[in-house]
Amino acid sequence: MENTLSERLSGQTAVVTGASSGIGQSVAMALARAGANVVINYGTRREPAEQMAVDLTKEGRQAMTFQADVSREDQVARMFQAAIARFGTVHILVNNAGIQKDSPVVSMSLADWQKVIDINLTGQFLCAREAAREFLRRGVQPEISSAAGKIICISSVHEIIPWANHANYAASKGGVLLLMKTLAQELAPHKIRVNSIAPGAVKTAINRSAWSTPEGREGMMKLIPYGRLGEPGDIAAAAVWLAGDDSDYVNGTTIFVDGGMTLYPGFTSGG
């Protein structure tokens, strides 16, 4: 099926978790503008999610919002049921919802450890399981896509880079790495592709304190060989590509969108 670049995802439906702000918002908008129907998941931020849906509708796109805690099995199931009831099926899942609760390990509470694991890792599992069940039920629609379904996990450079004072976050993203690869291995025979995008330093509200001052920006630039901070749109562009047939032979891999942060720039001068 041939589409123009702007409509390459026409006829497909995408669920984007944590889509009311930051990277998730940018991804959801980009998928919609590429032709997909979009389910905008949010946890607590109803107003920006609903405003996104209104804005997309004004552009002639199809969008709905759904409040769900991705760490809750029952809520995830209801979200997918609502998406299927509205749009008939789901073709794309972007597992984006994530949180940070940072502290040194010696003072990290069990509650903060567990909450981050629950949202960042268990949430990705629960959503991927629901998506895979729908992909398997429906099978390939060759007039829509070469794949039966696409799962895109939003990970982090910290799936491979240790991060002191962020043990829960780094552990959750390390888990996402092998969750993604295992799902990709298991589901590939069914024409389901699973990949990750690992952002580096991206200008979002979650890390505003690190980039909003000259001192913070200067410190971050030492970690980024390419010499600029990422924008949410950098991640969104990668997500649109992974969701489309141009990436049909890409499966079980992480795309690092990080300006070279994983090149370990501290070793440029010999470490």
As annotated, the active-site residues are 169
How would DSSP label each residue in 176-228?
HHHHHHHHHHHHGGGTEEEEEEEE-SB--GGGHHHHSSHHHHHHHHTT-TTSS
CA distances from 224 to 100, 110, 144, 218, 265 (A): 21, 33, 38, 10, 7
Q: For 263, which DSSP code?
A: G
Q: Do the Cβ atoms of 39 and 15 come closer than 8 Å?
A: yes
Q: Do the Cβ atoms of 20 and 45 come closer than 8 Å?
A: yes
Letter for the amino acid at 99?
I
CA distance 52 to 157: 28
Run of H or E residues at 66: strand 63-67
Q: What is the CA 136 to chain-centroid distance, rounded?
A: 21
Q: Do the Cβ atoms of 207 and 217 come closer than 8 Å?
A: no
SS3 label, residue 139? coil
Q: Do the Cβ atoms of 93 and 15 come closer than 8 Å?
A: yes
